[in-house]
Structure 1
């Protein structure tokens, strides 16, 4: 069965990613996990190596590659190297795609060069203390006042929140008929009224800074509105298939890595005088996981092809997201079990993957929300 959807140019990019990560990330990753964030120097080195803004326009320092497979390769190599850096993935794909497609020429010239060079770290601020998957429930507001918007509200669980020099913020604005709509704004670091709260102490993804953000009478130039006023929900919905495919790239690559590592462990670890993989129960567990991971890869490749062709539906993206992330959690749990007591040690590779995997079924839309979307598509 064909599970490889990559071509020579993607493999060349893979080689670039692999060499870069082994030299610039792997030796420092343990320290980043202790620090709770990636060192600033890594961002600039990644930009100089051409790993940031791969799909951004060439004239603004990007790679000009609209092919999502380059993003998938970057994610796979981060996973292979054991570098837990969701902030890099969010910056490099999710946020840069908004800034490459929803901006004016002046806005692109202002922000994209910094994103591509790593001089400007980006974040997207959607979730709030009382609004996560339900974006319509956000309470942050933006009121037009002359040539500015005044933002008030709070955001939480923001990846890159502590270090971001640029944040895309979702806020409620009034439509012409008075009903609240959602608009997207770019808030730059140092804008009066924009402050950062505490760094959140997470179960996993320890090398990623995740923070609270506050906007208190924060005055943002009207020129920093992304696209049209009150069109933000449409923009977010349009971007969700790509975001969920990106999350699934992490899920599939991580499941493949955990399975490969556990198969090697099962061949070499002995109990009662024989490899633990030779016991029928363990063999059947691994056979089941191998089958499911293979199927996940095939469906992922299909969805990437659909995304590249502009045909990936919200429903299929939801199917991909919930299935692959739940599979990632299941693989992590079964593989940790097969590693026995060593798997439960905090610094063991499988323990790290187990703790990192759990959030995948939550952010980007919970599994329950994904199933609700699929159910609606069935007329239920």
Structure 2
């Protein structure tokens, strides 16, 4: 039996079941934008003002009466897709769907599960999950939104798409398929010259296919690019790989991989030195620091930069909670981010059971770390 596919598709041009029983594109620029804006909320309510801002983004004229124009557009979408597609709720509208009825949110869950499987050393399961996740893409995310180029959700999902492609190729390397991974890695690296984890995969693929001299040349190319464009040296992962290449070390056994680094930032970070210094001071004196502000102002980027500069002696981990649907799922999501989702062992082989929160406390109790909980406003109680 084949997998049940998402009902609503926004990883590419919008597609949905229609009132006549067929499935196809949502036709009309405004109608498609409204559908994309509703789908982007994953079944959560959206205010009329927020919907109007997205549908008519960049239109200097816009409707004279946005509320009336939106009502008319909602009525048209209901006629096209069925009356239950758009649900009126107090204060706004929502898509009549669960989060995983929308391909975007199913992709995020599958990609996260695939990354966790790879971190746990199960490259075969990771490959299957990531293949399913990447197979949902049929074009640019939320392609019908007028302001997609600056939309924080679009930027986040496309970054995760790049991460999923990288993890899928890492799974191939772990499965001994370096020859299959080399060509797509080379193509990806050409477009992402500053993505150090991706460049490290290409260098490993060259090494694992017996092309050690080319691997050393590729490292030198990456080192020069980082120096010329960022004024920076390669990070610890690339430096360690370089030492292995110089020593002629055999690749380590594929029993897992280290905790993934913080996401690469491909643009410079200037003009926020005071905020960064203030956040660093807070981190030095408090166990819990919360960043507040409207969407899109750069909270995540500021937190990542502060984490990179954090002088503490523990590891830094990022738990991305945007795709978590229920507060009860937060501890499991954080366990996944820490690479500790599998059953833990305590003492001389005694199995540690209990709920996810208990396992999380047990895992963290003996460790020093800085933990970033990102996009957690919808599950803030559990966070």
Whether TM-score is above 0.5 comes out as no
The structure with the greater share of residues assigned to strand is 1
Rg larger for: 2
The structure, 1 or 2, with the larger RCO (C-alpha pairs under 8 Å, 6+ apart) is 1
TM-score, normalization by structure 1: 0.28
The normalised TM-score by structure 2 is: 0.28
